Structure 1
């Protein structure tokens, strides 16, 4: 069974802990990076004595992001069929795996605040399954022969917060998705055991805003599953231990592309006018995040054998 780890602060000190019976067993490793923790676990430098009585209650600690900077954050776009449609793309013509990057400055805790920058009005949410690499990739992998389980060390919940009025009109995906607090990660770093890998395709992703369901899907609905994506990624990227891959979001985001007729009409407008019309239309959508909105997100199997915890976020105005 996968082991659940958290990175936390207790009495001004940062440590990693093993979650057991709703309590935290401090590992007394100090503030290690995600990479160093995974390496130590692989080399069995950390002994997990679950019989220790020196545990902490979750409510007595501050849970931090289990993904630490510096790290490479690679993302997949439009990787669920219905989200491809709501993004305005034609699934029949999108015959490619869309990759982009996000700054590690965006990393933040899974239980805390998401800050909407003062100049942003179209703030969106995107629940995603996050993969943490546990092995370096410095050459192309053969999709027919390599085993993705050799490279996937852990899983976590990611929320790819996006400023749509920056990302799309300015064609700035990196900028529009990388403001501080735009990547809540965790709370759990679920380090997988061999028997856990088949469960990845059985995970259920759910996100609510103010108690109302917005996104709900299963991970097996990905257009490009992890094995295929990692193999393609290996062709043009060098991956280090501790780097992460966000595997795309399901449908249900606040963003919804204009209909075909509106897109045809907009194509005759000057570029700046086209985006003015787009932003005006998006502002009518009540789904975009507002200050004081509460976002909750979970990723788990229906039987609870693999559970990545729960994110609880509050939107605040910057």
Structure 2
């Protein structure tokens, strides 16, 4: 059965711990990287003593991101059909797997603040299933023969926070998605055991803003599932232990592309005029995040056999 780990701070010391109900069992390994933790677990250098009485109540610790830098953050775009539509893309035309990257400077805790930069007005949320690689990839994988569970070591909740007024008008996906605090990760790193990978399709993703449900979907609705994505990724990228893959977000984001007729109309305009109209239209949408908003996100199976915890984020003005 999968095990839940957290990276935390307690009395000015950083450590990793095993989650046991409402308690944390410290591993007493210090502030190791995600990569080092996974390697230690694989080589059985870390063996949590479940009989130990040295547990800490969850309420006494500060949760940190279970994803550490340096690492490569690879993302999939428009990987759920309905989100493809709301992004203004035609699912029948988008027959390719869309990849982009995100800076590891954006990594932050799942319990805390997301800072909206002073020049950003269209701040959006994107709940995503995050995958942590536990085995290097340095050559192409054969889709028909390789076993993805050999490479997927752990999973976690990711939020691909996006500044739409930077990402789209400037065609700056990397910049628009990489400001500091734009990658809340965790709170829990769920390390998979044999047989757990097959449960990924049953994961349910839910995100609320100020208590109202915005996004809800199951992982089996991905257009390009992890096995297919990892095989394609291996054709053009080398992967190290601790690198992560964000598998795309469902529909329900604040972003809403203009209708087809309006898109045809604005296509004849100069580029800057087109994007001025886009931003003006998006500013009318009340779904974009504002200072004081609270985001909550969960990813888990219905029976909670896999439970990635809950993100609780507050939007603050930079």
Same fold (TM over 0.5): yes
In structure 2, the residue corresponding to 1:166 is in which secondary structure? Answer: helix
Deviation at 1:261, TM superposition (A): 1.1
TM-superposition CA deviations, 1:252-292 (whole Å, max 9, x none): 00000000111111111111111000000000000000000
* Corresponding position of 2:232: 232
- Stretches of structure 2 lacking an aligned partner (at least 5 in a row): none
The answer to whether structure 1 residue 138 and structure 2 residue 117 are counterparts is no
Distance 1:224 1:197 in 2: 16
Q: CA RMSD in A?
A: 0.4
Deviant stretches of 4+, over 6 Å:
none
* Corresponding position of 2:43: 43
The answer to whether structure 1 residue 15 and structure 2 residue 31 are counterparts is no
Distance 2:79 2:308 in 1: 20
- Stretches of structure 1 lacking an aligned partner (at least 5 in a row): none
Distance 2:204 2:39 in 1: 28
In structure 2, the residue corresponding to 1:40 is in which secondary structure? Answer: helix
* Corresponding position of 1:162: 162
Deviation at 1:22, TM superposition (A): 1.5
* Corresponding position of 1:113: 113
Distance 1:21 1:224 in 2: 34
In structure 2, the residue corresponding to 1:255 is in which secondary structure? Answer: coil
The answer to whether structure 1 residue 5 and structure 2 residue 5 are counterparts is yes
Distance 2:303 2:93 in 1: 37
Q: TM-score, normalized by length of structure 1?
A: 1.00
In structure 1, the residue corresponding to 2:195 is in which secondary structure? Answer: helix
Distance 1:150 1:198 in 2: 12
Counterparts in 2 of 1:149-228, with a 5 A limit?
Answer: 149-228=149-228
Distance 1:158 1:85 in 2: 22
Q: TM-score, normalized by length of structure 2?
A: 1.00
Deviation at 1:47, TM superposition (A): 1.3
* Corresponding position of 1:313: 313
Counterparts in 2 of 1:214-293, with a 5 A limit?
Answer: 214-293=214-293
